[in-house]
Amino acid sequence: MTDQCGLRMTFDSAADLYQQARPEYPEHLYEAMIAAAGLSADNRLLEIGSASGKATLPLVRRGFRITCVEPGPALAAAARRNLARFPDVEVVQSMFEDIDPSAHERFDLVFAATAWHWLDPAVRYRRTWELLRPGGHLAFWSATHVFPEGGDSFFVDLQEIYDEIGEGLPDGVTCPRPGELPDQREDIEASGLFEPVLVRHFDWEVAYDADGYTRLLDTFSGHIAMEPWKRRRLYSEIRRRMDERADGLLRRGWGAVLHVARRRDLPDAP
């Protein structure tokens, strides 16, 4: 858990970049989550790992009351600034695993946007179950690089530079196409605490110039943790290759698998 926890906290150093650099999630992802969980505008939501409020804003604009839990002090401060005009949002600086369920009124939905996989597997389902009202829902998804047929070859071509600096892909890692991302239905069912009600893939594309793309990389834990010389070599090569393109842009495919699960009615969490 030490290495995982250390990487989890690297994001705090990118607090000033996160809101601008990370992609927006598709509006129809939020709509699908709201419909699957049967939410209404005055429901209470808890967000795990809110970062700077990227996924919070689209939901608070829909009228939901949201408690954001963010472990990084700089990211929590950024979220408070970005969400300051919304009185129905509270930002709590804490590890989700440390939240005391008895200190909160039960929530209608607990959700995590690109944060669920960072949580302690031994705690995440049980703590979420404890925070939800009977019949409440859990939702989570992650934004991941996908490689559509006929898509931009920039990323595959760039792997030679990652290999050169000793940051190549591990053996067996593949480049998933849209719709091929693994889902966690079995993990949800194995918890014994939740019943899946929706598992759905979403795919979209974002165009980046060199500055925008290197800013994006500066919000990824692996790139934040790179030795500076490796980052300099990689980023200089990205800029060189993009300068050779007529429009100066690359196009990155994004994919997400939205999971929505209903809290099981059990006398006590195991």
pLDDT value of position 14: 67
Asked, for residue 37, whether it belongs to a domain, the answer is yes
What six digits make up the tokens of 47?
A: 């967000």
Asked, for residue 244, whether it belongs to a domain, the answer is no
Percent of the chain with pLDDT over 90: 83
Asked, for residue 156, whether it belongs to a domain, the answer is no
Asked, for residue 220, whether it belongs to a domain, the answer is no
Q: What is the CATH number of the domain that holds 118?
A: 3.40.50.150
**What are the helix (H) ranges across the chain?**
2-10, 15-21, 27-37, 56-60, 73-82, 124-131, 154-164, 185-190, 210-217, 221-224, 228-243
Percent of the chain with pLDDT over 70: 94
State the pLDDT confidence band at 13, using cuts at 50, 70 and 90. Answer: low
Location of structure tokens 């950024």: 78
- Condensed to tens digits (0 to 9), the pLDDT of residues 170-225 reads 888 888 999 999 999 999 999 999 999 999 999 999 999 999 999 999 989 889 98
Find the mean pLDDT for residues 118-135.
96
**Are the C-beta atoms of residues 74 and 9 closer than 8 Å to each other?**
no
> In whole angstroms, what is the distance from residue 170 CA to residue 257 CA?
23
pLDDT value of position 7: 45
pTM, 2 dp:
0.90
Asked, for residue 152, whether it belongs to a domain, the answer is no
Q: What is the mean pLDDT of the chain?
A: 92
Total tally of structural domains belonging to the chain: 1
**Are the C-beta atoms of residues 129 and 193 closer than 8 Å to each other?**
yes
pLDDT value of position 1: 35
- Condensed to tens digits (0 to 9), the pLDDT of residues 147-165 reads 999 999 999 999 999 999 9
> In whole angstroms, what is the distance from residue 69 CA to residue 47 CA?
6
Location of structure tokens 């839990």: 69
- Condensed to tens digits (0 to 9), the pLDDT of residues 212-240 reads 999 999 989 889 989 999 999 999 999 99
pLDDT value of position 21: 86
pLDDT value of position 270: 52
State the pLDDT confidence band at 268, using cuts at 50, 70 and 90. Answer: low
Asked, for residue 40, whether it belongs to a domain, the answer is yes
pLDDT value of position 2: 37
Asked, for residue 224, whether it belongs to a domain, the answer is no
Instruction: Report the alpha-carbon angle 51-48-35, nearest 5.
Output: 110
CA 186 to chain centre: 20
> In whole angstroms, what is the distance from residue 254 CA to residue 143 CA?
6
Strands 44-48 and 107-113: parallel
Where in the sequence is the domain holding 59, given as residue range(s)?
2-147+176-205+254-263
According to DSSP, residue 95 is labeled -
Find the mean pLDDT for residues 77-91.
95
According to DSSP, residue 96 is labeled G
CA 70 to chain centre: 12
Asked, for residue 247, whether it belongs to a domain, the answer is no
pLDDT value of position 18: 75
What six digits make up the tokens of 251?
A: 């196009």
Location of structure tokens 């793309």: 213
Find the mean pLDDT for residues 137-150.
96
Half-sphere exposure of residue 221, counting CA atoms within 13 Å on the CB side?
Answer: 12
pLDDT value of position 251: 97
